[in-house]
Structure 1
Amino acid sequence: MKYRLLGSTGLEVSTLSFGASSLGSVFRETDDREGIRTMHAALDAGINLIDVSPYYGATKAETVLGEAISQTSRDRFYLSTKAGRYGIDTFDYSRATIISSLEESLRRLKTDYVDFLFLHDIEFVQPDIIIEEAIPALNSLKEQGKIRFSGICGLPLALFEHMLPKVQVDAIISYCHYSLNDHSLLKLLPLLEKHQVGLINASPLSMGLLSTRGAPDWHPAPEKVKEACMRAAKLAEVKGADIAKLAVQFSTSHPSIPTTLVSTANPDNIIRNAAWIEEPIDEELLNEILQILQPIHNVTWESGIPLYNK
């Protein structure tokens, strides 16, 4: 496993990190014992950053992860959770809620601190509440030692372009913007460097777009994106390859992107993902896939308020 420095935090994080959303049965019904084994397999493979949220499985992911954490040494990993989003349309970024949300997360996670607390999907609210209520709450929690670092996350890149000059945070989580079909995250790198903000990339499979199973029904991508990604996945299959492998290798390969989150509740899957990034990428296949995806390159979808979707 390779490790890279995360912004100005001083932390060296594994290039592949573990997203615990799957432990909350977000994508399919999962067995809690298997989920616990998956987290331990991730640690054994050298992964040292784990991300979760109370939103995932209506707190189930945190609960299962907490049980897994209690069975190992806390100094083996960095732990990230979130606050502010609690349901499909349930958001609360008030100072009081951020503080109480963390306390509840700590109880579920069976720990007395987290390394990162991110404000979850902040593109759905006006920026004033984030700037005036939520960020001061994060700063207060840092002063108390309950979190080491603060962050924000969301889908639109315009969100970070708007917020980073106005707030001081240690890291961001961006998803679906550095994958085989979308490289637009790269344009954000100068801004992140300027403000010394760490970057966590997520969803190298673009929330299921890059799969022969096809995107889930709820996926918000335009139909042309879904069709192109399916063609790319099928080409890989015809050539005896797995587009998931290519996608994970690609998303973890950029030296300026410290880490990429993948989520699974299957121990074999996380072991396989960790092994993939140690193998050389198939450059010929990569070029063929990128050519298929070129017509929909960097095509995204709206999320949140109009301010971030112009």
Structure 2
Amino acid sequence: MKYRKLGKTGLDVSVLSFGASSLGSVFRETDEAESIFTVHEAIDAGINLIDVSPYYGLTKAETVLGQAIKQIPRHKFLLSTKAGRYSADVFDFSRRRIIGSVEESLQRLNTDYVDILYLHDIEFVPAAIIMEEAIPALQELKKQGKIRNTGICGLPIALFETLLPQVDVDAIISYCHYSLNDTALLDLLPLVEEKHVGLVNASPLSMGLLSARGTPEWHPAGRELKDTCKRAADYCAAQGADIAKLAVQFSTGDDRIPTTLVSTANPANIRKNAEWTDEPMDGALLKEVLDILAPIHNRTWVSGRPEYNENLKS
């Protein structure tokens, strides 16, 4: 496993990190013992960054993860969680709620601090709330030592283009924008590097778009985007290859993007994903797949307030 520096946090993070959303039965009903074993397998494979949120499984993911990491020395992993989003349509970025949310998360996670706290999916609320209530709450928690670093996360690239010049945070999570079908995150790199912000990329499979099983029905992408990604997955299968392997290798392959989050509650899957990062990528297959995906390159979908979704390619 390779490691890279995460911006001004100074943390050395594994190029593949573990997204614990699956532990909350977000994608399928999961077995707690298997979920705990998956976390242990991730650590054994060299993954040292684990990300979670109270939103995932309505606190189930944090609770299960807390049981898993209780059995692991704290110095062996870096831990991030989130605050502000608590269900599909419940957002509360008030200072009081964020501080209370962190206390609840620390109890569920069986730890007395998290390495990074992110404000979760902030594109759904007015920027003024984030800047006047939420960011000061993060700074207060950082002074108290309950969080070591501050962050924001969301889907639209425009969200970060708008807010990063205005707020002082240590890290961001961007998802579905550095994968085989979408590399829009590259446009954000100059700003990220200027601000020395730690960059976490998430969802190398674009929330299931790049899947041999086909995209889940709930996925917000348009039909052409779904169908084109399925053609790319089918092409890989016809060559005896797994598009998931190509996708993970592609997303972890750029030194400018420190780490990529992948989520699973299957121990064999996380072990396999970790091994892929140390294997050479099939350059010929990559070119063929990128050619198939070219017509929908950087297509995305609406998320949050209108000001963050102007001029997007959908």
TM-score normalised by the chain length of structure 2: 0.98
How many angstroms does 1:113 deviate by?
0.4
Amino acid at match of 2:269: N
Task: Confirm or deny that 1:8 pairs with 2:8.
Answer: yes
Give deviations 1:62-96, integer Å, cap 9, x for gaps.
00000001111010010000000000000000000
Give the CA RMSD over aligned residues.
0.4
Structure 1 ranges of 4+ moved more than 4 A: none
Give deviations 1:215-269, integer Å, cap 9, x for gaps.
1111011111001000000000000000000000000000100000000000000
Match of 2:272 in 1: 272
| Partner-residue secondary structure (3-state), 2:64 | helix
Amino acid at match of 1:185: L
Gapped regions of structure 1 (runs ≥ 5): none
Counterpart Cα distance in 2 of 1:215 and 1:152: 27
Give deviations 1:2-29, integer Å, cap 9, x for gaps.
0000001111100000000000000000
| Partner-residue secondary structure (3-state), 2:9 | coil
Counterpart Cα distance in 2 of 1:302 and 1:142: 32
Amino acid at match of 2:270: I
| Partner-residue secondary structure (3-state), 2:161 | helix
Counterpart Cα distance in 2 of 1:194 and 1:280: 31
Match of 1:113 in 2: 113
Give deviations 1:151-202, integer Å, cap 9, x for gaps.
0000000000000011000000000000000011000000001111010000
Match of 2:297 in 1: 297
How many angstroms does 1:212 deviate by?
1.5
How many angstroms does 1:213 deviate by?
1.0
| Partner-residue secondary structure (3-state), 2:143 | helix
Gapped regions of structure 2 (runs ≥ 5): none
Match of 2:17 in 1: 17
Match of 1:156 in 2: 156
Match of 2:40 in 1: 40
Counterpart Cα distance in 2 of 1:242 and 1:103: 41
Amino acid at match of 1:154: G
Give deviations 1:91-121, integer Å, cap 9, x for gaps.
0000000000000000000000000000000
| Partner-residue secondary structure (3-state), 1:140 | helix
Following superposition of structure 1 onto structure 2, how do residues 1-310 of structure 1 map, counting pairs within 5 Å? 1-310=1-310
Counterpart Cα distance in 2 of 1:256 and 1:151: 18
Amino acid at match of 1:222: G
| Partner-residue secondary structure (3-state), 1:247 | helix
